[in-house]
Amino acid sequence: MNIHLIAVGTRMPAWVTQGYEEYSKRMPRECSLKLVEIAPGHRGKNASIEKAIEDEGKRMLAAIPKGANVIALDEKGKSWSTMQLSKQLDGWLQQGSDTALLVGGPDGLSASCRASARTSWSLSALTLPHPLVRVLLAEQLYRALSVLNGHPYHRE
């Protein structure tokens, strides 16, 4: 199974790329993490934010692999503890199909992305910077897999 992290934003700071890659490379082949960067929609003086979100959403939906389990990262989604995430991850692994995690841009996900998702997941009640979300997701997925494999990385 592959986990596709489909995220709006390109040209991330070096610390984001390094942090994401550190945890991504730790994932085993049977549960690899693949980043798909989506160019942000045009935002500017007379630009429509709604149009930018809609354009991002179309490109995100086009990047989802056929048959993938789609999870929207959304502030109104369900919060999962590490143990709950490990159970979710185990379920995704058991399904055998790829999973796509959708991370919107600065103004969130399009309605079409939220509608296409099987479920919505909230990482925190806090507002997190989108670059940090990539690193946080990669680390938490690695941690959840460590729980499933009985690896000592996660300690309760």
Binding residue positions: 73, 104, 123-128
Tokens linked to 58: 């179309």
Q: Are 65 and 2 in contact (CB under 8 A)?
A: yes
From the CA atom positions of the chain, what is the Rg in Å? 15
DSSP H helical ranges for the chain:
14-24, 49-63, 82-95, 111-116, 130-148
Feature table: binding site for S-adenosyl-L-methionine? 73, 104, 123-128
DSSP assignment, residue 48?
A: -
